[in-house]
Amino acid sequence: MNRLQIIAIGVLHFLLIAAAQIFIFNNIRFLGYINPMIYVWFILMLPYKTPYWALLLLSFAMGLCIDVFTFGQGFHTATLTFIGFLRPFILKFYTGNRDITVWQRPTSSDMGFMQFTFYITILIFIHHLLFFTLDILRFTELIPFIIRLILSSVTTIIVIIICDLLFMKHKKD
Amino acid sequence: MKELARFISRFYYIFLFLALEGLAIALIVNNSYYQSSAIGNLFNSIAAGIYDKQASVTQYFDLHEENALLVKENAALRAMLPASKFAIVDDSTSIVDTIYMQQYSYTSAQIISRTLGKRNNYFMINKGSKQGVKSDMGVICPSGLVGVILRTTNNFALIMPVLHQDSKRSVKNKRTQATGTLVWAGGSYEKGQVIDYPSSLPLKKGDTIISSGFSSNIPEGIVVGYVESYELDAATGFYVINIRFSSNYNKIKDVYVIKDLFSKEKQKLMKGMGNE
């Protein structure tokens, strides 16, 4: 029963976050082109004990979903799959010897605010770096590329932290 | 054998990752093929269907602004009517006997989805091949140029707007008639560039850049943008002009797809020339 509930919550999160990205955040463009990519949060906040195969398949599915709706070339799929692959290695540093229930997720209330911020910053930065390298590096010079990379990463990180504080506060156990 | 099975079961996720990542990269590399394949078509029509539902809800939100834009366009068109012109030359001997033939017809459509932040952006509209929209037709909006049709499905079409690396439109300066090529260097959707512009002709800040009419799909005189700054490209001797687009591509909703009624005749003329 437990497992079924977790899967149901996962499906709900997938739909909500994909819809939020497609219908709301894809229409937000700070300074003309800075577009927060909160769909990465879906992979970042899956429970600690999500099996590897599920993590990879979900990353692929979420990436593909965003690509289909932005008429993309597969850049979201490629980068998010890599993030799904990377997540367990990063999270290893945070779980250590802690006892972890199937319900626990990497949220700010579970990890502590600073730890959480650090965790998402690493993965979001890697994600944005890969994505922008694929999408625009061929066409722009290095300095505008770096500025855009940093501004976009910071925007995404801030939006994810706000979402985490708003929606994840009471899900500690 | 047992060792191998244990190795695979221990590191299966690496293989799974490589398989999925390989699939994603294949998607990127073979993108043009995938876009025209059955699965690409299916994905496009799923996205189109959902965006259409969304548009039918959200289109009421900025109806006011959209109306103001259309009324303004109507006023401009009304001013062009013969009835609102005053004949300056009152020459009783000349007989004005000109018969016009319709060259362009316009189909109205609404943008139901768009991307703006990427290097290659696309707009989707709610008219397709069933409504007579075909690829390569030009698309304009009340405030200026939008782009050309890239692909169509039965009821939807994808536009390649000027915000795309393959979009190269022939444009000219409204004042001096000097021509150049409109390109987009990425970044902000408010700014574009005109390259290959002759430096021998005078150019001023604020000059209006319009479509040249050289390409058959977009008529002459559609406003593209306004000159903001320019510099000489020492290597080629041409000006590179930075322009501000006349349309806000984040806001526009109503567009017109242009059908050139002479396109068949023009194509007939061009036929065989490509072989030489």
pLDDT, residue A172, reads: 46
The interface predicted TM-score (ipTM) is: 0.83
Q: Which CATH class is domain B169-245?
A: mainly beta
pLDDT, residue A117, reads: 92
**Spacing of C-alpha B82 from chain mean position:** 31
- Give the start-to-end residue ranges of the domains of chain B: 169-245
Cα distance between residue B28 and residue B39, in whole Å: 14
A62 close to A78: Cβ distance less than 8 angstroms:
no
All domains in chain A, ordered by first residue: 2-167 (1.10.1760)
Cα distance between residue A140 and residue B39, in whole Å: 32
Give the 3-state secondary structure of residue A151: helix
How far CA B97 is from CA of B94, B100, B134, B257, in Å, comes to 9, 10, 35, 31
Give the pLDDT confidence of A74-132 residue by residue, as tens digits: 899 999 999 999 999 888 887 777 777 877 888 888 888 898 999 999 999 999 999 98
pLDDT, residue A122, reads: 93
Q: Which of B188, B203, B186, B208 has the alpha carbon at shortest distance from B240? A: B203
Cα distance between residue B261 and residue B23, in whole Å: 43
Give the 3-state secondary structure of residue B71: helix
pLDDT, residue A173, reads: 45
Contacts of A56 in chain B (CB under 8 A): 13, 16-17, 20
The single-letter DSSP state of residue B212 is: -
Q: Mind listing the pLDDT tens digit of every residue in chain B (276 residues)?
A: 777 787 777 788 888 899 999 988 888 887 777 767 777 778 888 888 888 888 888 777 777 777 878 877 887 787 777 666 665 555 555 555 566 677 788 888 889 888 888 888 999 998 888 888 988 899 999 888 999 999 888 889 999 999 998 888 999 998 888 899 999 988 788 899 999 888 888 888 889 999 988 877 888 888 999 999 988 888 888 889 999 999 999 888 889 898 888 878 877 887 766 554
Q: Which residues of B touch A (CB under 8 A)?
A: 12-13, 16-17, 20-21, 23-25, 27-28, 31, 43-44, 46-47, 50-51, 54, 113, 115-120, 122, 124, 158, 165, 185-190, 250
B147 close to B135: Cβ distance less than 8 angstroms:
no
Cβ contact A74–B27 (<8 Å): yes
Does A89 touch chain B if contact means CB atoms closer than 8 Å? no
Give the 3-state secondary structure of residue B260: strand
Burial of B84 (0-12, 13-18, 19+ CB in 10 A): exposed
